[in-house]
Amino acid sequence: MAISTTRTKEKATITIDSDKCTGCGKCISVCKDFNFLIKNNKVILSNDPVFGCIGCGHCMAICPADAIEISGRELSKEDLFDLPPIEQRASYEQLYALYSRRRSVREFLDKEIAPEIIEKILDATSTSPMGISPSDVNLLIMDSKEKTRRFAADFCVYLKSMLWFVSGWFLTLMRPFWGKTNDEMFKGFVKPLFNVYINNMNEGINLVNYDAPLAIYFYGSPYCDPADPIVAATTAMYAAESLGLGTCMLGGVHPLIQKGRKARKFRTDHGIRYPSREGLFVIFGYPAVRYRKGIRRTFASTTMMN
């Protein structure tokens, strides 16, 4: 049986042109589904793939003789394109400059982001790696500050209806079930977050997504590797930074719209197709602030294994 995603439940079809095949074996080295073997100096299909072709396309992308076609799982030969020249690849110094200049920006100029810029961000983001192809990452795009504000206002109305979730009696009741870490998290972070979002919105201040002129919600499906939306969100963030935009990841909304009947209604009302183990909003806009210094960051730990 092939690996299921929301987009496909079938394995892809592999077609080999034996006349073109030179028997170089490159497709064999890259196929981790073990679909190929060499016989009489030509590649043939093996009888014992692991899952059945997952449609990663690697064999077709590496074959120097153009002898393999993969079709199915949302992939075809039409999806191959010529690589940009290697000299155009960003250097470490260029990437480091991009990374280290980035700051989370939540203060934006009152300036729209042109559709071509959004297209560029999406184009770059579609190159993101994914757990299993085809990507099961979904995007909800809010392409104006009116839309981000409407979403934030609706979210605060929804939060108001969920205030019992952070009430004293509920947190006391749940403490033995969900343990110390969750208890600390709810008391120290989630409860104050509910209040800060709702109370500020009551005053007309949007701390949910800061009235950004663009917000994208990256979320998966129940089939999706939970990391995939986060990987895509990160790619989008840096693509936007390279285009001169300021960005900020927002983790506050996603976990609060996953479970329960009201959350499902909120998702449906806002065009969100699935609940998702992980998901992340990224906001984008032309920065109204400019940082003068970078800030050195460290990891919690880096342990070199013996």
Ligand X SMILES: Cc1cc2nc3c(=O)[nH]c(=O)nc-3n(C[C@H](O)[C@H](O)[C@H](O)COP(=O)(O)O)c2cc1C
Q: How far apart are CA 262 and CA 117, in angstroms?
A: 35
3-state secondary structure of 3: coil
If binding is defined by CB under 6 A, does position 251 make contact with ligand X? yes
Residue closer to ligand SF4 (CB basis): 24 or 117: 24
Task: Tell me which of ligand SF4, ligand X, none is bound by residue 159, counting a contact when its beta carbon lies within the kind-specific cut-off of 5 to 8 angstroms.
Answer: none
Residue closer to ligand X (CB basis): 51 or 238: 238
Q: In terms of Cα–Cα distance, which of 47, 49, 53 is closest to 75? A: 53
Residue closer to ligand SF4 (CB basis): 18 or 268: 18
Strands 246-250, 214-219: pairing kind: unpaired
Residues numbered 252 to 291 that lie near ligand X (CB under 6 A) are: 252, 280
Residue closer to ligand SF4 (CB basis): 15 or 167: 15
If binding is defined by CB under 6 A, does position 246 make contact with ligand X? no
Task: Tell me which of ligand SF4, ligand X, none is bound by residue 27, counting a contact when its beta carbon lies within the kind-specific cut-off of 5 to 8 angstroms.
Answer: ligand SF4
| Distance of alpha carbon 260 from the chain centroid | 23
If binding is defined by CB under 6 A, does position 250 make contact with ligand X? yes
If binding is defined by CB under 6 A, does position 106 make contact with ligand X? yes
Q: Which residues bind ligand SF4 (CB under 6 A)?
A: 12, 14, 16, 21-27, 30-31, 33, 35, 43, 53-59, 63, 65, 67-68, 70
3-state secondary structure of 124: helix
Minimum CB separation of residue 210 from ligand SF4 in Å reads 42
CB 278 within 8 A of CB 229: yes
Contact flags string 52-91 toward ligand X, x per CB under 6 A: ----------------------------------------
The dihedral built from the CA positions of residue 75, 78, 80 and 83, taken in this order, carries a sign that is: negative
Residues 130-167 as b/e (b if ≥16 CB within 10 A, e otherwise) read: bbbbbbbbbebebbebebbbebbeebbebbeeeeebbe
Task: Tell me which of ligand SF4, ligand X, none is bound by residue 104, counting a contact when its beta carbon lies within the kind-specific cut-off of 5 to 8 angstroms.
Answer: ligand X
For residue 54, count CB atoms less than 10 angstroms from its CB and return exposed for 0-12, middle for 13-18, buried for 19 or more. buried
Minimum CB separation of residue 27 from ligand SF4 in Å reads 3
| Tokens (6 digits) for 3 | 């690996």
Please pick, from the candidates 15, 104, 199, 268, the single residue that binds ligand X as defined by CB under 6 A: 104
Q: In terms of Cα–Cα distance, which of 82, 74, 77 is closest to 59? A: 77
Task: Tell me which of ligand X, ligand SF4, none is bound by residue 54, counting a contact when its beta carbon lies within the kind-specific cut-off of 5 to 8 angstroms.
Answer: ligand SF4
Contact positions toward ligand X, by CB under 6 A?
A: 103-104, 106, 248-252, 280
